[in-house]
Amino acid sequence: MAPFDPVAILGKPMGYMVFILFGMAFGASLEIAGFGVAHKLVGQFYFKDQTVFKTMFTSVLVAMALLFLTIGLGWLDYDRIFVPPTYLWPGIFGGLLLGFGIIIGGYCPGTSMVSSSSGHLDGIFFVAGVMAGGLLFGSVVDSFWDFYNSSFMGRFTLSEWLGLPTEVVVSIAIVLGLLLVWGSDLIEKAWKRREGILTPEEQRKDKRILTAVSVALLVLAAAILVIGQPTLVDAWNSNAEKQALLAEGKAFAPPHEVSQAYYDPLINIVLLDVRNERDYNLYHLENARRIDTKQIPTLYKELLRAPEGTVVIVMGNDETTAIEVWKQLVAKNSINAYVLKGGINHWIEIYGNEQFQKIAHHPDDTLGWVIPDALGDRWTSAIPPQPHENEPYEIIKLQKKAPTGAGGCG
């Protein structure tokens, strides 16, 4: 499932060449659209020339429609796509500064590169200004560091804010976006008619293009609405790789590997206990966090932001409930998770059997030991034993986080 890392697939020389070719294609498209000329960019702020707004906004709508269509079809993993984290007030303030910069200088950083490549002196000076501004920003950012990192909201999207399904928000955004594009076109045409520079042929041509693009986008919006977006259950049912791991027993981390990972400086281990509150209070591993199965969607989003080298260990009394939680966490290949082999019952059998009395016959996924006191992780065996020597992991593997890249102004 996409996205794919060209460097990992093709190697560094060819992978970097793919990036260069995409960059050149993007720059060429901006030049063809006329974005290398300052007055065309500034014209949108005076409602004289809406080419930039119509082109960029339509491109955003097309990209969004195709993106969520491929996600709905199961071809692309949304959780492995970089979404810039939201810093609300710094973002608003920075956006206003960027807008003033475009009005004053006639370019944004991307279009100034296009202009300078075409030999325009104003574009060259703008690029020099961008570089100087970057150096100045880096030298003074410490003085307003608290504001720069304030109002952090993480990977926050409109669907989360509105509490609506993603496919509904995307469809609404496409409709509203098209209304804005048509409105900007009407404003531009009104100004051109007043100035007497609008020909009937130009008006008919623009209308045909806008109509064709609008119909295509509305069809895509309808398709996205009908197909919807995959749930974690849908993702699991189509994930043959993880299903094979479960069938082959490679999803179950033995207690000795969990202990080794617990002390491994290269691993950020997250212990998730999915048992009921009573069993958790009686006995749980040190630093284990109890979660309810209803918390999985929220937990999933939290784990997506975990640092590189994170390994998640899911544990129940045995493996039944833990497996169901594990399926949801690994369904999209975005989280590196394992099930504690044999669960807490097996852990106690290895490390704490002298402390407790074993229950010979007990129902599945229930505590198989008599725990006399609710000491939680204060039992001696609840602290993972430090390994005598570090052996190669057979089950636990370090998983690199998906490649990400920040977006920017065109």
Same domain assignment for residues 71 and 105: yes
Confidence of residue 405 (pLDDT cuts 50, 70, 90): very low
Compute φ and ψ for 149, nearest 5 degrees.
Answer: -110, 15
User: In this predicted structure, what is the pLDDT of residue 403?
Assistant: 47
pLDDT in tens, 124-159: 999 999 999 999 999 999 999 999 999 988 778 888
Q: How many domains does the chain have?
A: 2
Contacts of 345 (CB under 8 A, 6+ apart): 317, 318, 367, 368, 369
Q: In the chain, what is the straight-line distance between the N-terminal and C-terminal CA atoms, in Å?
A: 28
Same domain assignment for residues 214 and 309: no
Which of 231, 248, 273 terminates a domain? The answer is: 231
Domain around 182: 6-231
Q: Is residue 407 part of a domain?
A: no
Window from 2-6, 129-133, 354-358 with minimum mean pLDDT: 2-6
Instruction: Tell me the residue length of the chain.
Output: 410
The residues with which 339 forms a beta bridge, in sequence order, are: 252, 314
Which of 197, 231, 265 terminates a domain? The answer is: 231
266 in Cβ contact with 310 (< 8 Å): no
User: In this predicted structure, what is the pLDDT of residue 195?
Assistant: 83
Q: Is residue 259 part of a domain?
A: yes
38 in Cβ contact with 122 (< 8 Å): yes
Q: Is residue 393 part of a domain?
A: no
The residues with which 314 forms a beta bridge, in sequence order, are: 272, 339
Residues 35-61, mean pLDDT to the nearest whole number: 86
Same domain assignment for residues 376 and 313: yes
Q: Is residue 397 part of a domain?
A: no
Compute φ and ψ for 35, nearest 5 degrees.
Answer: -80, 0
Same domain assignment for residues 267 and 357: yes
User: In this predicted structure, what is the pLDDT of residue 302?
Assistant: 86
Same domain assignment for residues 12 and 113: yes
Residues 10-32, mean pLDDT to the nearest whole number: 90
Q: Is residue 60 part of a domain?
A: yes
Same domain assignment for residues 80 and 220: yes
Report the CATH number that the domain containing residue 353 is assigned in CATH. Answer: 3.40.250.10
Residue 268's SS3 state is: strand
Task: Give the number of other Cβ atoms within 10 Å of residue 397's Cβ.
Answer: 10
Of the candidates 151, 162, 157, the one whose C-alpha atom is nearest the C-alpha of residue 301 is 157
Residue type, 409: C
Which of 231, 251, 270 terminates a domain? The answer is: 231
Compute φ and ψ for 267, nearest 5 degrees.
Answer: -115, 130
36 in Cβ contact with 120 (< 8 Å): yes
Q: Is residue 398 part of a domain?
A: no
Rounded Cα–Cα distance for residues 306 and 297 (Å) = 15
CA 191 from chain center: how many Å? 42
Residue type, 131: M
Total-model pTM: 0.73
pLDDT in tens, 277-322: 999 999 999 999 999 988 888 888 888 888 889 999 999 999 999 9
Same domain assignment for residues 12 and 150: yes
Same domain assignment for residues 36 and 118: yes
Compute φ and ψ for 365, nearest 5 degrees.
Answer: 60, 30
Same domain assignment for residues 148 and 199: yes
Residue 144 token pair: 């307003």
6 in Cβ contact with 18 (< 8 Å): yes
Same domain assignment for residues 108 and 243: no
Residue 79 token pair: 């959780």
Residues 24-28, mean pLDDT to the nearest whole number: 89
Q: Is residue 82 part of a domain?
A: yes
User: In this predicted structure, what is the pLDDT of residue 324?
Assistant: 93
Of the candidates 344, 390, 402, the one whose C-alpha atom is nearest the C-alpha of residue 79 is 402
Element (H, E) at 312: strand 310-315
Contacts of 272 (CB under 8 A, 6+ apart): 288, 289, 291, 299, 312, 313, 314, 315, 325
Residue 261: pLDDT above 80? yes
Same domain assignment for residues 225 and 286: no
Mean pLDDT over each residue of the chain, to the nearest integer? 89
Residue 384's SS3 state is: coil
Same domain assignment for residues 313 and 288: yes
Q: Is residue 400 part of a domain?
A: no
